[in-house]
Amino acid sequence: MGTVTSERRLERRKRTVEAALESILARRDTPLDKAMRYSALGGGKRFRPLLCLSAASALGGDEDVALPFACGLELIHTYSLVHDDLPCMDDDDFRRGRPSCHREFGEDIALLAGDGLLTLAFEIMAAAAVPRGLQAAKARILHETARLAGVDGMIGGQLLDITYAPGSATEQSLIELMIKKTGALIVESVRAGARAAGARAAELKALTLYGEHLGLAFQIRDDIHDADEKPRKGVPAVPNYARVFGLDRARHAVAFNVGAALAALSAAAIKSPDLRLLARRLTEG
């Protein structure tokens, strides 16, 4: 019964995020705006905003207060995908079953669409209305998001990604890449939701550990799904944990990190069936 209820809550939150994103992006009808909407509203699990809203709810916070930060983080994630798909990066022609943004609108518009999504994210978060007692928390969310989406986090991980040298990867180097490129924004999604709920230091520490392990599990699971893909001619090899260390070790790493994420919640007595379900989903399929 609890899982069914959690499924319904997560689905409701996803619909809330989708509606909010549609409202945020209903600005103008220029080619740039169309490209931004095409990328941000073209499907997706909304994993990061769900983490943000679920973390806020777990600590008794108001999901409406956390929603602008949840949407901002999703816009940042979407911008990173648009830029990742560009020919100068991963050179992907498709995203979520449709032509990638640069294939649909051209490289110039796609580049600007990514820039637009990133800057819009901070506009939305900076304009977020929060109770007087959470003004300092809001400032910390903005600072942390900028840092973890930047060269110390996601962008730094993207640099490691494009400078990856096949044959020289160690488990430590791949984990560092995953922690930065994928994990940083996942960690900040949980921390932003927690801060929007007025989290205590111990709660924030536990949710950070949860997010760190979740980020590793998320990326390794993606690597398992991508392990059978044949390298494309002329495209540099992409770092992949499952290809380097094998499927069995990769599956064990996913299970270990999901278990560690759940243990972090239990150790801090954070009773959130929704956060637990989001973690357990990573061991499915």
Query: pLDDT digit string (tens) for 59-93?
Result: 999 999 999 999 999 999 999 999 999 999 989 99
pLDDT of residue 5: 93
Which domains are seen in the chain, by residue range?
2-283 (1.10.600.10)
pLDDT of residue 281: 96
Weakest-pLDDT range from 141-150, 231-240, 253-262, 268-277: 231-240
- Please check the confidence at residue 234 and state whether its pLDDT lies above 70: no
Residues 96-104 have a mean pLDDT of 95
Task: For residues 88 and 162, give the distance between their C-alpha atoms in angstroms, rounded to a whole number.
Answer: 9
- Say which residue, 166 or 157, is predicted with more confidence: 157
Which among 199, 205, 242 is positioned nearest to 58, based on CA atoms? 199
Label residue 233 by pLDDT band (50, 70, 90): low
- Please check the confidence at residue 1 and state whether its pLDDT lies above 60: no
Task: For residues 276 and 129, give the distance between their C-alpha atoms in angstroms, rounded to a whole number.
Answer: 29
**167 close to 236: Cβ distance less than 8 angstroms:** no
Residues 5-15 have a mean pLDDT of 96
Label residue 231 by pLDDT band (50, 70, 90): low
- Please check the confidence at residue 253 and state whether its pLDDT lies above 70: yes
The DSSP letter of residue 227 is T
Q: Provide, rounded to the nearest whole percent, the portion of the chain with pLDDT above 70.
A: 96
Q: Provide, rounded to the nearest whole percent, the portion of the chain with pLDDT above 90.
A: 84
pLDDT of residue 206: 98
pTM score, whole prediction: 0.95
- Please check the confidence at residue 19 and state whether its pLDDT lies above 90: yes
Task: For residues 185 and 17, give the distance between their C-alpha atoms in angstroms, rounded to a whole number.
Answer: 17
Label residue 284 by pLDDT band (50, 70, 90): confident
pLDDT of residue 47: 97
Tokens representing 45?
């699990």
Residue 229 burial (CB count, 10 A)? 10
Residue with tokens 């070790």: 249
The SS3 call for residue 153 is coil
Q: Which ranges of 26-62 would DSSP assign to H, the alpha helix?
A: 31-40, 47-58
Which among 22, 17, 46 is positioned nearest to 33, based on CA atoms? 22
- Give Dmax (Cα) for the chain: 56
- Please check the confidence at residue 155 and state whether its pLDDT lies above 70: yes
**265 close to 224: Cβ distance less than 8 angstroms:** no
Task: For residues 224 and 21, give the distance between their C-alpha atoms in angstroms, rounded to a whole number.
Answer: 30
pLDDT of residue 239: 86
Task: For residues 79 and 125, give the distance between their C-alpha atoms in angstroms, rounded to a whole number.
Answer: 15
Residues 150-177 have a mean pLDDT of 90
Q: Which residues pair with 94 in a beta bridge?
A: 99
Tokens representing 268?
């801090």
The SS3 call for residue 23 is helix
Label residue 168 by pLDDT band (50, 70, 90): confident
Task: For residues 66 and 58, give the distance between their C-alpha atoms in angstroms, rounded to a whole number.
Answer: 12
Task: For residues 168 and 183, give the distance between their C-alpha atoms in angstroms, rounded to a whole number.
Answer: 22
Question: For all residues of the chain together, what is the average pLDDT?
Answer: 94
Task: For residues 267 and 249, give the distance between their C-alpha atoms in angstroms, rounded to a whole number.
Answer: 26
pLDDT of residue 98: 95
**70 close to 17: Cβ distance less than 8 angstroms:** yes
Task: For residues 21 and 49, give the distance between their C-alpha atoms in angstroms, rounded to a whole number.
Answer: 11
Task: For residues 13 and 240, give the distance between their C-alpha atoms in angstroms, rounded to a whole number.
Answer: 31
